[in-house]
Homo-oligomer: A and B are copies of this chain.
Amino acid sequence: MDLDYGPQYDAFRAEIRAFINAHRHLAPPSATRFSRPSAEAIRWQKLLIEHGYTARTIPAEYGGYGAAPDILKSRIIAEEFSRARLPSGLANQGISMLVPTLLELGTDEQKRRWIAATLTGEVVWCQGYSEPGAGSDLANLKTSARIENGEFVINGQKIWTSTAKQADMIFCLVRTELEASKHSGISYLIFSMDIPGIEVRPLKTMTGHAEFNETFFTNVRVPVDQIVGQRGQGWFVANATLGHERGMLGDPDALENRLQALIGLMQQESIGEGRAIDNAVLRDRLVALQAEVTAMKCNGMRILSNSLKGEPGGMAKLIVKLQSCEVAHQISALAIDAMGEMGILYHRSPRERDGGAWQWNYMFQLGLIIGGGTAQIQKNIIAERGLEMPREPKLARISDEAKGAAGMQTDRQGAA
């Protein structure tokens, strides 16, 4: 056990701190969650790439910094920008999911054409994976692409396409081999959101905002070479990408920031003569959450160490998403309780605290827990992969007629 990063890394950390002190005036204000990057944000992004604080390990020929992978340095960068409350570069699905996929499975031309432009924020992507009837099982997806005159002709519907309104491009899973078995009939296409036949409808959620969209495709024509990986291999291409998803690692810094904000809130919020933190019952819940957050931070360090050693993350990694979401939700719940009646103010009300962030978080985190059955899926993964428990009995016994009918039923429900 050694919590020190060593002198080389301490120097690296000092260097980042110096950079932050010198440049923090250039940092863009925190962006609305799903907007296009501002000119300021793009300048900041380019500055960070230049110094190797983002896109660090992406080869220079594709617009990255070109450093050798160093998990600790990446970790230090994340820690320092989080501590300084500055954006550590753009974080969008194009960067977190498409770029790693192209690096791994794209053609050289695809890499050259898209990676640099994506990294700098000039091209914005959205993700087209989920469908109303295939929330918990991507293999179930129905959006189809038939070939006609050297083009894919796409019809169908995607949901939870978060940045579809702002995006220039989409990376999208479609079914190209209708007769193939579930997982092998899927292809991974990339195409412009400007093609005729694409309609984006905002999807309002319980938070009152439209953080997501539904995206409809009617005879959308895409050249056959706009495919990543082989035809029918899209499921595996996407899975390679899912592995890159940052969320899988959880973000202990984010959890720590929420906790610190909660502590601050409870020290400020007054109840009669006292403060919220002076209430023993609320304080007990606060300390309990602090222990949970500390545990998740330690768990994160453990995963990091395993990665450094090239060891698998194991159970420590499998539980991160489920547990982080739950702890984050509980932090918001306590904040609301600590505010008393003020806890329900929202929609830019007078006296609202922190711009309504606590209620927004409370609801959005619940969305993350349940979205597409996430908590249920996470529990299945933990049980089956982590604990090696038996899978649900195969459904092969259900007749194919029943399956067909069920599928339609599902569709109708999903679109309701």
Please give, as numbers and ranges, the residues of chain B lying within 8 Å of A280 by CB-CB distance: 279-281
A284 lies within 8 A of chain B by Cβ: yes
- Distance in Å: Cβ of A284 to nearest Cβ of chain B: 5
**Chain A binding surface, main DSSP class:** helix
Q: Closest chain B residue to A279 by CB distance?
A: B280
A391 lies within 8 A of chain B by Cβ: no
A397 lies within 8 A of chain B by Cβ: yes
Please give, as numbers and ranges, the residues of chain B lying within 8 Å of A397 by CB-CB distance: 397
Interface string of A269-298 (1 = CB under 8 A from B): 000000000011100100000000000000
Report which residue of A279, A281, A397 has the largest number of chain B beta carbons within 10 angstroms of its beta carbon: A281
What separation, in Å, do the CA atoms of A279 and B284 have in the docked complex? Answer: 11
Q: Closest chain B residue to A397 by CB distance?
A: B397
What separation, in Å, do the CA atoms of A202 and B276 have in the docked complex? Answer: 54
What separation, in Å, do the CA atoms of A281 and B397 have in the docked complex? Answer: 53
What separation, in Å, do the CA atoms of A312 and B171 have in the docked complex? Answer: 58
What separation, in Å, do the CA atoms of A279 and B279 have in the docked complex? Answer: 12
Please give, as numbers and ranges, the residues of chain B lying within 8 Å of A279 by CB-CB distance: 280
What separation, in Å, do the CA atoms of A397 and B395 have in the docked complex? Answer: 11
Please give, as numbers and ranges, the residues of chain B lying within 8 Å of A284 by CB-CB distance: 281
Q: Closest chain B residue to A285 by CB distance?
A: B281
Interface string of A378-416 (1 = CB under 8 A from B): 000000000000000000010000000000000000000
What separation, in Å, do the CA atoms of A1 and B368 have in the docked complex? Answer: 45
What separation, in Å, do the CA atoms of A281 and B284 have in the docked complex? Answer: 7
What separation, in Å, do the CA atoms of A277 and B284 have in the docked complex? Answer: 16
What separation, in Å, do the CA atoms of A123 and B376 have in the docked complex? Answer: 53
Q: Closest chain B residue to A280 by CB distance?
A: B280
What separation, in Å, do the CA atoms of A280 and B284 have in the docked complex? Answer: 10
A interface residues with partner B (beta carbon < 8 Å): 279-281, 284, 397
